[in-house]
Amino acid sequence: MNPVELIRKKRNGGALAPEEISWLVGAYAKGELPDYQMSAFLMAVCFRGMTADETTAFVDIMLHSGKVIDLSSIPGRKVDKHSTGGVGDKVSLILAPMVAACGVPVPMISGRGLGHTGGTLDKLESIPGFRTDLTIDEYREVIRDIGLVMIGQTAEIAPADRRMYALRDVTATVESIPLIAGSIMSKKLAEGIDALVLDIKSGDGAFMKTYNDAVTLGRTLVGIGTAAGKDTLGMITAMDQPLGAAIGNWCEVEEAMDCLRGKNVVDLMEVTYALGGAMVYFGGKAASIAEGMALCRSAIWSGAAHEKFLQLVERQGGDIAYLNEPGRVPAPRHRIEVRATSSGFVAGCATMKLGVLAVELGAGRRKVDDVIDPTAGIVLAKKVGDHTEKGETLATISTNREDAVRRAAEVCSASITIVPERVALPPRVQALIDRDGVKPWTAPTYY
Ligand code: URA
């Protein structure tokens, strides 16, 4: 096949046949199609989209670019969660050990930072020694032994996504429903799960900026999961301000550790408990999502979730001394306090701008071969709804990049809006999507 003709066809709004998509994706996964041609194709898809048939073929080909793991010999219903991407989204670091501590096996294949959003793999790899590139045999052993495993795409599992993901990260080709669907569902359907919970982010810091677009993405993902025979539920959650306080890699691990030790970072834990409740329910350990949420809370308060995370880190080669003594991680060269220029209430946060700033500080990649600085990032001292006095700290910026220092405080300050009057907080979990459609979310009353 001629790749130029296929790119031209998509660029002109045509629909590709399954064998044409298969050839393009297959050639790219094998390293036989260069990055520049795949970039052009991805950009054409961003502008022109894909038909339902093309999307189905794309997901299937992405999935079968590697092995599909069978975990049926491991007891219990295996359940995972995936987020469509957000700023400060460290939910997986808390959720996966919390759900595993409730007795539900969690096999998780995650991604790296993507565009302005962070990635679970980069966060885990900020723990010295942590290996996210296990072989399939190692993956199987870890989930069998401790009920939890967290890895990335490999040469064996979802290899097409491994290459395409890295390319989309640096070519502004993330915001496309079929590309997101192929990327997420190829990883999730390869893992050996029985059920899947999707965190579909909506708002300025998400790839879907509006609620309606998030619903469209959610319906697509839930439809694919359901058609593949997996119990699949989506939750639309707010991404109009960073989740929790930390944006970066090591600082997000630290915040996740605080939550695992029992700190209630309210917005972060509200989303984590809702998703966790659904996973525990799907795992057959609770009769409802509400009951699953209660079990998740107990796993945090008993210390079982924290214990499970340490077990995972040790098992995958990470040095838990860094988690127990955070001072071991070297401080970045620059630490800048951003202070409020007026008194009032924080009314909004330009979340995507903060995500882009974190990338510029060194927490993400601008080119495929950029090396992440684990200590780069932003920690917010004030969130939407909080009161501040003029001169109080709004955020602390950390970086080792001389070139980023000058503009960073200005960009961060301009991203946070302060108004004189109190502001109402929007709901954090906005709706559920299952095979029957979109439903309102009502948080359990004890919440
Ligand atoms: N997460 C993924 O794994 N892929 C995407 O394309 C977006 C979010």
Pocket test for ligand 1, best of 55, 84, 150, 201 (most atoms within 8 A of CB): 84
Residue 115 CA to ligand 1 center (angstroms) comes to 10
- Look up 82 and say whether it is catalytic: yes
Sequence-separated contacts (24+) of 371-374 with Cβ below 8 Å = 372/113, 372/122, 372/125, 372/126, 372/249, 373/332, 373/399, 373/400, 373/401, 374/122, 374/125, 374/126, 374/248, 374/249, 374/250, 374/329
The finding on whether 184 has its CB within 6 A of some atom of ligand 1 is yes
The pTM of the full predicted model, rounded to 2 decimals, is: 0.97
Neighbours of 351 (CB within 10 A): 27
Tell me, what DSSP letter sits at residue 330? Answer: P
Q: Is 168 designated active site? A: yes
* Pair 399, 363: CB distance under 8 Å: no
Counting atoms of ligand 1 from 1, which one is nearest the CA of 85? 8
Token readout for 367 is 């080119």
Q: Which residue's alpha carbon is nearest to atom 8 within ligand 1? A: 84
Question: What backbone torsions phi and psi does residue 52 show, to the nearest 5 degrees?
Answer: -60, -40
pLDDT at residue 123 in the model:
98
Q: What is the pLDDT along the chain (447 residues), one digit of tens a residue?
A: 999 999 999 999 999 999 999 999 999 999 999 999 999 999 999 999 999 999 999 999 999 999 999 999 999 999 999 999 999 999 999 999 999 999 999 999 999 999 999 999 999 999 999 999 999 999 999 999 999 999 999 999 999 999 999 999 999 999 999 999 999 999 999 999 999 999 999 999 999 999 999 999 999 999 999 999 999 999 999 999 999 999 999 999 999 999 999 999 999 999 999 999 999 999 999 999 999 999 999 999 999 999 999 999 999 999 999 999 878 999 999 999 999 999 999 999 999 999 999 999 999 999 999 999 999 999 999 999 999 999 999 999 999 999 998 899 999 999 999 999 999 988 999 999 999 999 999 877 644
- Does residue 169 have an active-site annotation? no
Is residue 187 part of the annotated active site? The answer reads yes
Q: In angstroms, what is the span from residue 165 Cα to ligand 1's centroid?
A: 8
Give, using CA atoms, the residue closest to atom 6 of ligand 1.
Answer: 180
Cβ of 111 closer than 6 Å to ligand 1, yes or no, is yes
Measured distance CA(259)–CA(246) in Å, rounded = 12
Helix (H) or strand (E) holding 23: helix 18-29
- How many CA atoms lie less than 13 Å away from 77 in the CB half-sphere? 17
Mutating to test ligand 1, I would choose from 42, 164, 174, 221 the residue with most ligand atoms within 8 A of its C-beta, which is 174
Task: Indicate if ligand 1 lies below 6 Å from the C-beta of 114.
Answer: yes
Measured in Å, residue 92 CA sits from the centre of ligand 1 at 14
Catalytic residue among 60, 89, 161, 231: 161
Judge contact between 103 and 304, C-beta under 8 A.
no
